[in-house]
Amino acid sequence: MVSSIFRGNLMADFEPKVRITVPAYIQDILNTDMYDFDLTKNKICNEIFFAFHQSHNEQAKRFRLQESTILQFTLSNENLDLFIKLTDQVNFTNKAEFFRQMFFDYCSQPRYVRELSLNEKSIKLVNKAIKEQKQLRIRYKDGLRLVEPYALLKSDNETRNYVYVYCHNKHDYCIYRLANIEAVSITANAFEHYDQSLIDGIRHNFDPFLSYGQTVKARLTEAGFQIYERNITHRPQIIKQDGNTYEFECSAIRAKLYFPKFFGEVEILEPLELREWFKNGIKNMMNVYQVNGG
């Protein structure tokens, strides 16, 4: 039932525009997630509403708003319809408190769970395709791709979610960031490249750069090893050492992200294709400095 107070402001409360006061830290988290997940304010607020609109709690937390800010957005037509239906099912008297609690619930979750909340519709279809072993057509960054989704995985530091797939466009196994999948639709096509042992290996040794089973050999100076110990972001695991020569469990993509910061304190030895990539990069850098500075 809708409360009498709510009925008294029925027309105003059914307006799609929402304007509430929230603690400043909630706005900070939303701003960070908007940047990380490449979402507009209106988009992220509507996705949060869709994910949390049924979790209303009349005894929910009441906020002390010493440090506060205004959050304003517009409900989509779909979400406005959901909100109107909700008022027939839930007895709440304060629209602002309802939305404020919803954002508190969202921001109280770990980052990877927030990402799951924002992609609830796609995740349902991804999981359905995994269960039924059906191919998916997705829009990912630069266009449409046909993939076979095998697993939904999160990074070790629990900051991002990924979908492990075989991509028919690339003819290879890939890891796609969940946040970059804009749309998902299930096809009638069955999996063609399913490999249970490979999937199990990825699950148990997951990293978003697919380093499992791949190695990079490099020679580090003493200063280079100190850089390795200090820089933990994307750091590959050492699996073998012979003097100052190290073998890392590391894909080429991971190496290209991690080792350039070492400058002359590292020499990539193997694989040869990766060694050539670093050599060409150094040559290009030298050309830039010779042209611009002599």
Higher pLDDT, 94 or 255: 255
Q: Which of 48-57, 79-88, 146-155 has the lowest mean pLDDT?
A: 48-57
| pLDDT, average across residues 238-249 | 95
pLDDT digits (tens, 9 = 90+) for 73-118: 999 999 999 988 888 776 667 788 889 989 999 999 999 999 999 9
- Which strand ranges, in their side-by-side order, compose the sheet holding 245-249? 237-242, 245-249, 215-220, 266-270
- CB neighbourhood size of 235 (10 A): 14
In this prediction, residue 92 carries a pLDDT of: 63
Is the pLDDT confidence value at 133 over 50?
yes
In this prediction, residue 6 carries a pLDDT of: 43
Closest among 185, 202, 115 to 145, alpha carbons compared = 185
φ/ψ of 65, rounded to 5, equals -110, 45
Equal fold, 120-202 vs 215-293: no
- CB neighbourhood size of 189 (10 A): 14
In this prediction, residue 61 carries a pLDDT of: 53
**Pairing outcome for strands 134-140 and 181-190:** antiparallel
**% of the chain beyond a pLDDT of 70:** 88
Mapping DSSP to helix (H, G, I), strand (E, B) and coil, where does residue 62 land? coil
Total-model pTM: 0.72
Which range, 93-102, 118-127, 265-274, has the best average confidence (pLDDT)? Answer: 265-274
Architecture category of domain 215-293 in CATH: 2-Layer Sandwich (3.30)
- In the predicted model, what is the mean pLDDT of the chain? 86
For residue 43, with 0-12 CB atoms within 10 Å meaning exposed, 13-18 middle and 19 or more buried, which class applies? middle
Closest among 205, 215, 213 to 151, alpha carbons compared = 205
Task: Give domain limits for the chain.
Answer: 4-108, 120-202, 215-293
How distant, in Å, are the alpha carbons of 38, 39, 177, 194, 228 from that of 218?
36, 39, 29, 33, 12
* CATH classification code of 120-202: 2.30.30.100
